[in-house]
Amino acid sequence: MNKPLITLTDVSTTVQNSAGAQINILKKLNLTINEGDFITVLGSNGAGKSTLFNVIAGGITATNGTIKLHARDITHESELTRTKYISRVFQDPKLGTAPRMTVAENLLLALNRHKSFSLMPRRLNKHLATFTQITKQMGNGLDQRLQTSVGSLSGGQRQALSFLMATIQKPELLLLDEHTAALDPKTSAQLMQLTDEKVTANAQTALMITHNLEDALTYGNRLIVLHDGQITLDVTGAQKAQLTKDDLLNYFASY
């Protein structure tokens, strides 16, 4: 059995809305993410999915409860510090990349994250063959645009780049925040296939928020559902394999 990587215990979050009222989003949520888990995350709007990711990544500090990486308490660790072991791909293709830099320069930044380095041409050139190889996997022409500024890429190419940057150094945890939602169906399917291949091949621990029920059922070894700030369904293995789209629709209809 794989060891726990991230453990959330009785995690609650309280935020203030625009009217000044206190809103409870996560409510004594408990979740153990084991090493090698690929968890698909479902939930209606306002269920707490993005807040869960923000709490794990450090963008929001839990009001109560604890978050541990292995056995180390990281509840109050900064978001910047957590980027050393957590990578995230957002729904918006414009997030996570530097638009005025080239594709190759962005990949070099990701490769040297948390290291002291420069963008000297000689340092960039020695990685071009590797960058060509990994971008060619995308099958969308990104390998032909290594010297192109990221701001001129298509949305699909830019999101593919974001994914490659997030995984070029295997993070301990990969957060996929509806990373295919803004793409057309063909591009979305291509990126999902690559996501599954890389996560599976690398035994990458990952959480993926999606509103696509078929993707939630098809990918990953585990599925969780959030409702009203708590996890109301958590299935894995044979239980997940037996679930159908109608089962999930009926489950959501019962709320």
Range with the poorest average pLDDT among 1-5, 75-79, 161-165? 1-5
For residue 116, the model assigns a pLDDT of: 56
- Where do the domains of the chain lie? 1-85+171-255, 90-170
User: C-alpha angle with apex 46: 40 to 52, nearest 5 degrees?
Assistant: 50
Residue 230: pLDDT over 90: yes
Instruction: Note the pLDDT tens digit of each residue in 31-75.
Output: 999 999 999 999 988 899 999 999 999 999 999 999 999 989 999
pLDDT higher than threshold 80 for residue 18: no
Q: Round to whole Å and give the CA distance between 249 and 253.
A: 6
Amino acid residing at 129: A
Whose tokens are 């399917």? That residue is 189
What pLDDT sits at residue 43? 94
Q: What is the largest CA-CA distance in the chain?
A: 60
Give CA–CA dist 89/161, Å, rounded: 10
For residue 16, pLDDT over 90 is answered with no
Amino acid 117: pLDDT: 53
**Residue 192 confidence (pLDDT):** 93
pLDDT band at 87, cuts 50/70/90? very high
The larger pLDDT score, comparing residue 68 to residue 190, is at 68
The tokens for 224 are 């969780």
Q: How confident is the model at residue 149 (pLDDT cuts 50, 70, 90)?
A: very high
Backbone angles phi, psi at 217, to 5 degrees: -80, -35
How far is residue 17's CA from residue 78's CA, in Å, rounded to a whole number?
Answer: 23
Check residues 177 and 21 and name the one with the higher pLDDT. Answer: 177
- How many Å apart are CA 171 and CA 83, to the nearest integer? 9
Is the pLDDT reported for residue 119 higher than 60?
no
pLDDT over 70 (residue 181) = yes
Residue 124: what pLDDT? Answer: 81
Q: 1-85+171-255: what CATH class?
A: alpha beta
Band of the pLDDT at 115, cuts 50, 70, 90?
Answer: low
Strand 206-209 to 38-43 pairing:
parallel
